Every structure is written in C-alpha cells, then in structure tokens.
Amino acid sequence: MWVYEKKLQYPVRVSKCDPRMARYLAEQYGGADGELAAALRYLNQRYTIPSKVIGLLTDIGTEEFAHLEMIATMIYKLTKDATPEQLEKAGLGPHYVSHDSALFYNNASGVPFTAAYIQAKGDPLADLYEDIAAEEKARATYQWLIDMTDDVDLQDSLKFLREREIVHALRFKEAVEIIKEDRDQKKVY
C-alpha cells in the first residue's frame, strides 16, 4: 500500500544541542493543536464529509504525518547529545526518567496526548471551520517557536511548516465554499 522513501518532506537541520527548544517543540508533537492531533482529526472526519472533499482531508491528514516526522526529527536532533543535567535544566528531567531519549506524545508542559484533542462533529461545515481554526492555531504556534530560537537552520524548517499550515487553512476555506455551493444547489432526482 505504501512506498516508503527514507526522506523527510523538507530537510531538518539544527545547529546545536538545545533541549529547551526540544521541549517547546513537543507542543507540535503531542499537543492539542499539534501534528498528531491534526492528522487524526482529518483522517477521522473523512467518514462524515461529502465525497467532493474527502480527498482533501486524506491529502492533508497524511501530510500532517509527514510533519509529525519532521518534528520528531527536530526533537531528536536537539536532544541527541544532551546530558541528563542539560535535560533536567530544560525541564525534561521527568521525561528523561520515564522515557530516556525516546519520543513520547505529550505537549510542551509534559501533559500526555489525549483523544479529547480530536474534534469531529459530523457536520461538514462545523468540522471544516474547526480544521481552519486548528491550522491557524498551528501557524501561530510555529511563529512563536521561530521566535524562541536563534538557530537559523531550525528556523528554516519551522518556517516551512508554518507555510504549510497557511496552505492547509486556505484549502479548508475552499472546501467550505464547495460544501456551501453544493448545499445551496437545487437537488433534482
């Protein structure tokens, strides 16, 4: 079903070990508005969305998994040479004690991922407006992450992800218009 090419959607480079930044990036890994929540939300919503926009949810949902892989790579690279003392200083001591250097789905505060993050109302317009809001919140978070680092290599990858959130929001806005237009057309049977 899948052909796996061991290549990220966009290159991820970091200039230095920075566990503090890795902790902040966990927000996009396992937080409410992060990539995992988005991927699961969109792929789940496909089952109650009109067929005209199912492909959009599938495409964006699977792309979110590619973004999740990029975030995981960033976190790994930012912490791979960190000492336990550096991790503790960055607020990752409890994570280290529980998981060593393994990634775990939690937000920047260490709160584990929950299915409660995944919204699905079953109403196409409500779901699409939720999706637009999710993309805009992710875009804002990426901007704040960019502002939190002086690592230009890391900023480059974060800017790519921020721009993808903008594109996704635009695509969801287009889907809203498709649904509205379809809803307003007179049905002849």
Q: Is 95 annotated as a binding residue?
A: no
Catalytic residue among 27, 63, 67, 95: 67
One-letter identity of residue 138: A
Q: Is 135 annotated as a binding residue?
A: yes
Q: How far apart are CA 39 and CA 13, in angstroms?
A: 23
> Cα-atom radius of gyration of the chain, to the nearest Å?
18
Q: Counting Cβ atoms within 10 Å, is residue 146 exposed (0-12), middle (13-18) or buried (19+)?
A: middle
Active site residue 64: yes
Active site residue 168: yes
Half-sphere exposure at residue 124, Cβ-oriented, CA atoms within 13 angstroms:
23
Q: Is 67 annotated as a binding residue?
A: yes
Catalytic residue among 27, 63, 64, 95: 64
Interhelix angle 152-184/124-147, rounded to 10 degrees, is 170
Active site residue 165: yes
Catalytic residue among 27, 63, 95, 135: 135
Catalytic residue among 69, 168, 177, 181: 168
Active site residue 35: yes
Backbone phi, psi, residue 34, to 5°: -85, -175
Catalytic residue among 27, 35, 63, 95: 35
Catalytic residue among 27, 63, 95, 165: 165
Residues annotated within the binding site for Mn(2+) are 35, 64, 67, 135, 168
Q: Which residue numbers are catalytic?
A: 35, 64, 67, 135, 165, 168
Residues annotated within the binding site are 35, 59, 64, 67, 135, 168
Residues annotated within the binding site for Ca(2+) are 59
